[in-house]
Amino acid sequence: MFGKKVSEGDVLRALRQVVDPDLHQDIVSLGFIKNLKIEDSVVSFDINLTTPACPVKERMREEARRAVAQLEGVREVRVNLTAEVRPHAALDRSALASVRNIVAIGSGKGGVGKSTVAVNLAAALRMSGARIGLLDADIYGPAIPLMLGHRQQVEIRENRILPAEHHGLRFISMGLFVPGDKPLIWRGPMAHKALQQCLFDVEWGELDYLLVDLPPGTGDVHLTLAQSVPVTGAVIVSTPQDVGLVISMKTLRMFQQTNIPILGIIENMSYYICSHCGAREEIFGHGGARHASEALGVPFLGEIPIDTRIRRQADTGVPIVLADPSSPAATAYREIAERLAAQISIVNYRIAPLRIEEVSM
């Protein structure tokens, strides 16, 4: 029935038709194809993606399956999706060798939902299978321990700080060093030292993404971060009422001045869905962040609705992404997390294009 025997070369040639829509290159040249086997006209291979949170993985799997299934002599195609987050090119030279990407999360002002975004994105990336750390660098208002429902003081072993671990996320916060509700007062040099300790003296272990929740605005902590470690990129959280987004834009410019690429803008509290009738209301207007990102040529990562359950879940220590993964709010966070992961892969690819696989055709 199958006269022609299919070869590895035939399969790879067919797979060259499948292009990664973010990296704009075919999946063979990108070195994604691993473990290619042909047995009894059954072709199996892995597609090793750059992130487990890849937004287009099912599409690539299907395109790859179809491209190979068309070949003569192929009875069955088995595509296995794997992922390996590629490290930022400069990171292996730093003291944080086990952390592949450091991602800053900033905002022009406080109260825009930056910490809520940080914990929910962390949870969404974790659910996709990525190894996640969260550094609460908002030394003036550390919120992460409350939002993750874990307030035990940190443990120190052999002069190394062990990160707290909860919901599968490793995290560290000034709130874990200071007992009770003591106010935190920091002078510049202290803030600098504290952030450096949180980066270098913490036993982070292997992480794909370390998300850093920055204090609002611009300041010492941002500079310390930019000067201490190679940051893959920054995310800006904004609200629609942030007039013309002027304040957020200042933050954006500060990142650009310190050579930190902007991974994208998120519009939080973008719209409200009435829990009784399902009607959508745009309390503060909507779409400002999208327009601003278009004007500035930076990616727009998405919109998050105002939802009382987002606040309630943050207050009870279980982010909505974990508490109710199929809710519209959780879906919004998850889609943003996927777009963010794709942007991180794009930035890393621009700095150091992936090695082209040596293949015999």
Ligand X SMILES: Nc1ncnc2c1ncn2[C@@H]1O[C@H](COP(=O)(O)OP(=O)(O)O)[C@@H](O)[C@H]1O
Give the residues lining the site for ligand X (CB under 6 A): 107, 110-116, 143, 268-269, 304, 306-307, 310-311, 314
Closest CB 118 distance from ligand X, rounded Å: 8
**Helix 328-351 to helix 114-128 angle, to the nearest 10 degrees?**
80
Distances in Å between the Cα of 153 and the Cα atoms of 136, 172, 175 are 14, 10, 8
Which is closer to ligand X, CB of 12 or CB of 269? 269
Residue appearing with tokens 């971060």:
225
Instruction: For residue 329, give the nearest of 283, 270, 285 by alpha carbon.
Output: 270
Which is closer to ligand X, CB of 186 or CB of 200? 186
Which is closer to ligand X, CB of 206 or CB of 282? 282
Closest CB 113 distance from ligand X, rounded Å: 3
- DSSP label at 279? -
Closest CB 284 distance from ligand X, rounded Å: 11
Closest CB 72 distance from ligand X, rounded Å: 53
Which is closer to ligand X, CB of 113 or CB of 175? 113
Closest CB 240 distance from Mg ion, rounded Å: 19
Per-position x/- string for 133-172, each x denoting binding to Mg ion as judged by CB under 5 A, each - no binding? -----x----x-----------------------------
Which is closer to ligand X, CB of 216 or CB of 261? 216
Binders of Mg ion among residues 98 to 127 (CB under 5 A) are: 114-115
304, 310 contact by CB (below 8 A): yes
- Report helix, strand or coil for 100: coil
Which is closer to ligand X, CB of 304 or CB of 347? 304
Selection from Mg ion, ligand X, none that 215 binds (CB < 5 to 8 A by kind) is: none
Selection from ligand X, Mg ion, none that 116 binds (CB < 5 to 8 A by kind) is: ligand X
Selection from Mg ion, ligand X, none that 38 binds (CB < 5 to 8 A by kind) is: none
What's the distance, Cα to Cα, between the start and end of the chain in Å?
25
How many Å apart are CA 274 and CA 10, to the nearest integer?
55
User: Which residues are paired to 296 by β-bridges?
Assistant: none
Selection from Mg ion, ligand X, none that 101 binds (CB < 5 to 8 A by kind) is: none
Selection from Mg ion, ligand X, none that 310 binds (CB < 5 to 8 A by kind) is: ligand X
Residue appearing with tokens 């606040």:
311
Instruction: For residue 170, give the nearest of 198, 135, 195 by alpha carbon.
Output: 135
157, 196 contact by CB (below 8 A): no
214, 222 contact by CB (below 8 A): yes
Closest CB 144 distance from Mg ion, rounded Å: 8
170, 205 contact by CB (below 8 A): yes
Closest CB 78 distance from ligand X, rounded Å: 41
How many residues interact with Mg ion (rule CB under 5 A)? 4
Which is closer to ligand X, CB of 67 or CB of 254? 254
- Kindly calculate the radius of gyration of the chain based on its CA atoms and give it in whole angstroms: 22
Closest CB 74 distance from Mg ion, rounded Å: 53
Selection from Mg ion, ligand X, none that 112 binds (CB < 5 to 8 A by kind) is: ligand X
Selection from Mg ion, ligand X, none that 334 binds (CB < 5 to 8 A by kind) is: none
Which is closer to ligand X, CB of 85 or CB of 306? 306
Residue appearing with tokens 């957020």:
248
- Report helix, strand or coil for 357: coil
Phi first, then psi, for residue 154 (nearest 5°) are -70, 155
How many Å apart are CA 233 and CA 231, to the nearest integer?
5
Q: Note the residues at the interface with Mg ion (CB under 5 A).
A: 114-115, 138, 143
